[in-house]
């Protein structure tokens, strides 16, 4: 099932009308829901809204390419700009006239999608280690693999939260996981989960970086990808279980949202 889902994420939505893969399209839609939830009362200009959204979406991609010494595709391809901007504009228009559930509730409902999309991003980034220009020292380092997975998994959230990109006045502040009340296993899950999933995938595929650390019988790449995605989804699910249950909105809150 997960193998099929990962395959779908790498196929275009429509080869002619919208030739962008489901993975980036669903990622854009999910971040758009998050961004609209956080910025609803901020009254952002179109420029600030779109810029903040794109930086939140691409934080992980930009960070991972920087670590690998590669140019991010956003610098030389129009596709990512069209893909993400179009999805956000359409989603924002649709969400402008409906009541958006609070953040805790959407995170609880959508954790399988969040885990799947996060795992897909990590797995795609790991494929960039095969690019010939990447430093062999980095390719052979399990520590770098962990850092790379953590960066792509959490980069967008860290950039968005650190600079408050969904507010009218961007400003630098303490990264969210380091703030009082946030530090802990579940508060930092977005960071370490990407690194753990990366090392598990390396071990399952017998990557040289894990030689001498974990000695297990390697599995096929599709199986390893599915297991990595399953692990990410389970970790996100455990965070939901460990978090306080979101309270149903009161009638007053519902009326306020619909106004």
In angstroms, rounded to a whole number, what is the distance separating the alpha carbons of residues 1 and 212? 32
- Tokens for 8, please give them: 């779908």
Does 32 have pLDDT greater than 70? yes
pLDDT at 140 over 60: yes
Nearest to residue 203, comparing CAs of 195, 188, 138, 136?
195
Helices then strands, counting H and E runs in the chain, come out as: 11, 2
Mean pLDDT, rounded, for 56-79: 97
Phi, psi of 203 (to 5 degrees): -65, -40
The model's confidence at residue 13, banded by pLDDT at 50, 70 and 90, is very high
Gap between the Cα atoms of 8 and 17, Å rounded = 17
Q: What is the pLDDT of residues 40-53, one digit of tens each?
A: 888 899 999 999 99
Question: What is the model's pLDDT at position 115?
Answer: 96
Return the pLDDT at 255.
54
Burial of residue 160 (number of CB atoms within 10 Å: 0-12, 13-18, 19+)? buried
**pLDDT above 60 (res 254):** no
State how far the Cα of 168 lies from the Cα of 100, in Å rounded to an integer. 20
Percent with pLDDT over 90 in the chain: 76
pLDDT of residue 258: 46
Judge whether residue 147 has pLDDT over 60.
Answer: yes
- What is the arithmetic mean of pLDDT over 169-191? 89
Q: What's the rounded mean pLDDT across residues 87-115?
A: 91
Per-residue pLDDT, 253? 52
Ranges of each domain in the chain: 13-258
Model confidence at 257: pLDDT above 60: no
Identify the top-confidence range among 25-29, 173-177, 242-246: 25-29
pLDDT in tens, 104-129: 889 899 999 999 999 999 999 999 99
Full DSSP string of 175-205: -GGGSTTT-STTTTHHHHHHHHHHHHHHHHT
Q: Collapsing DSSP states into helix, strand and coil, what is residue 13?
A: strand
DSSP string, 83-118: HHHHHHHHHHHHHTTSPPPPHHHHHHHTHHHHHHHH
**Residue 134: band (very low, low, confident or very high) from pLDDT cuts 50, 70, 90:** very high
Q: Is residue 176 predicted with pLDDT exceeding 50?
A: yes
Residues 203 and 141: their CA atoms lie apart, in Å, by: 13
Which residues lie closer than 8 Å to 185 by C-beta, 6 or more apart?
A: none
Element at 21 (helix H, strand E): strand 18-21
pLDDT band at 6 (very low <50, low <70, confident <90, very high): very high
With 70 as the cut, is the pLDDT of residue 196 above it? Answer: yes
pTM above 0.85, yes or no: yes
pLDDT of residue 42: 86
């Amino acid at each position: 099932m997960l193998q099929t889902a990962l395959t779908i994420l790498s196929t275009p939505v429509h080869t002619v009308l919208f030739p962008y893969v489901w993975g980036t399209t669903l990622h854009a839609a999910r971040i758009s829901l998050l961004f609209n939830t956080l910025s609803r009362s901020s009254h952002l200009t179109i420029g600030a809204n779109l810029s903040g959204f794109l930086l939140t979406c691409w934080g992980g991609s930009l960070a991972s390419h920087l670590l690998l010494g590669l140019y991010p595709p956003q610098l030389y391809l129009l596709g990512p700009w069209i893909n993400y901007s179009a999805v956000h504009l359409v989603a924002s228009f649709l969400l402008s006239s409906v009541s958006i559930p609070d953040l805790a509730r959407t995170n609880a409902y959508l954790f399988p999608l969040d885990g799947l999309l996060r795992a897909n991003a990590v797995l795609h980034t790991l494929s960039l280690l095969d690019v010939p220009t990447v430093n062999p020292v980095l390719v052979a380092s399990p520590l770098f693999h962990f850092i790379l997975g953590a960066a792509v998994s959490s980069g967008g959230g860290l950039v968005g939260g650190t600079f408050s990109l969904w507010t009218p006045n961007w400003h630098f502040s303490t990264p969210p996981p380091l703030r009082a009340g946030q530090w802990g296993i579940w508060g930092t899950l977005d960071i370490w989960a990407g690194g753990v999933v990366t090392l598990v995938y390396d071990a399952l595929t017998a990557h040289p970086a894990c030689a001498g650390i974990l000695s297990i019988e390697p599995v096929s790449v599709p199986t390893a990808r599915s297991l990595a995605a399953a692990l990410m989804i389970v970790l996100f699910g455990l965070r939901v279980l460990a978090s306080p249950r979101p309270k149903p909105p009161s009638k007053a809150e519902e009326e306020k949202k619909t106004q």
